Structure 1
Amino acid sequence: MTQAGEPERDVGLAMGRGFRCRCPRCGRGKLFRAYLKVADHCPACGEALYHHQADDAPPYFTMLIVGHVVVGGVLATEIAYHPAIWLHMIIWLPLTVILSLVLLPCIKGAIVGLQWATRMHGFAGGPDADDPRPILKA
């Protein structure tokens, strides 16, 4: 139980649902309303999702993963086969773009799932204790 008496949220399950671009709470509703725009509320369960603050984490982790895959692949291919540079370009440039575009929303979803499960950035129902920003009510 948390301090407010609410049950713990399963971090792995929430991140897995987010990685599949689904609501971290129910796993049924779509997390995104556009390519990288998180929906304000889950269309299935109504969970508020606008609190998220993924910021620069998704691009960072995407570059980290894609960079390791592509650089490792380039080095292994070069050592094993010594192909021409144009062949490297034909293989690795499209793969880099495709992997980046596919992984970016998945990783952002996992980050939102992590924030929801750990009740960060307003997902607990109130402001974070260490958030210095004032609460603005419309």
Structure 2
Amino acid sequence: MSLSTDPTDESNARYDLPATFMACLLRGVLGRCPRCGEGKLFRKWLKPVDTCAHCQLDISGQRADDLPAYIGIFVTGHLLAPVIIALVTGFALSAMALLAIVIPLAVVMLIGLLQPSKGGVIALQWWNGMHGFRKERAGEPPA
């Protein structure tokens, strides 16, 4: 699909390209197509759609691999560290009680962060034109 910068061209009126990287990243984190922001990015929990239903962006070439899991581990660890420190210093909990609190909390946080981080990684790849995506910017002619 070719993009035209001509404002009278109907093909470019179907979707609005994100103006900034943060807008693109937000679309991905929210599970929306990074190009148009309208179509769903995922058909199942972690399975992206092959093509956006709204703008026909081919998403099948994305390569998120393990980066979303690393992001989830990093964020979970940094958010749970103060909680663990507070539980250890503020309460007289046994090791088993501490584990009974921290492990389920960590698992829930990791599962909750996987899809948004994968959407963000896919948006990052689209924004930078990586892995089969074409670099597209608002107001610029297509490459």
TM-score when normalising by structure 2? 0.76
Please give the secondary structure, in 2, of the residue aligned with 1:35: coil
What residue number does 1:97 align with? 107
Deviations 1:19-39 (A, max 9, x none): 011111111211011111111
Please give the alpha-carbon distance, in whole angstroms, between the structure 1 residues aligned to 2:54 and 2:33: 8
Moved over 3 A (4+): 5-9
Q: How many Å apart are 1:9 and its aligned residue? A: 5.8
Percent identical pairs in the alignment equals: 34
Q: How many Å apart are 1:115 and its aligned residue? A: 0.7
Q: How many Å apart are 1:71 and its aligned residue? A: 2.7
Alignment of 1:10-49 (within 5 A): 10-49=20-59
- Structure 1, unmatched stretches of 5+, are 126-138
What residue number does 1:85 align with? 95
Q: Is the 8 A contact 1:9 1:118 kept in 2?
A: no
Please give the secondary structure, in 2, of the residue aligned with 1:107: helix
What residue number does 1:128 align with? none
What residue number does 1:55 align with? 65
Please give the alpha-carbon distance, in whole angstroms, between the structure 1 residues aligned to 2:89 and 2:115: 33
Please give the alpha-carbon distance, in whole angstroms, between the structure 1 residues aligned to 2:128 and 2:81: 34
Q: How many Å apart are 1:77 and its aligned residue? A: 1.4
Q: CA RMSD in A?
A: 2.1
Deviations 1:97-121 (A, max 9, x none): 1100010110010010011111111
Please give the alpha-carbon distance, in whole angstroms, between the structure 2 residues aligned to 1:92 and 1:41: 39
- Structure 2, unmatched stretches of 5+, are 6-16, 136-143
1:68 to 70, 78, 92: 78
Q: Figure out how many residues of one structure are paired with residues of the other and give that number.
A: 121
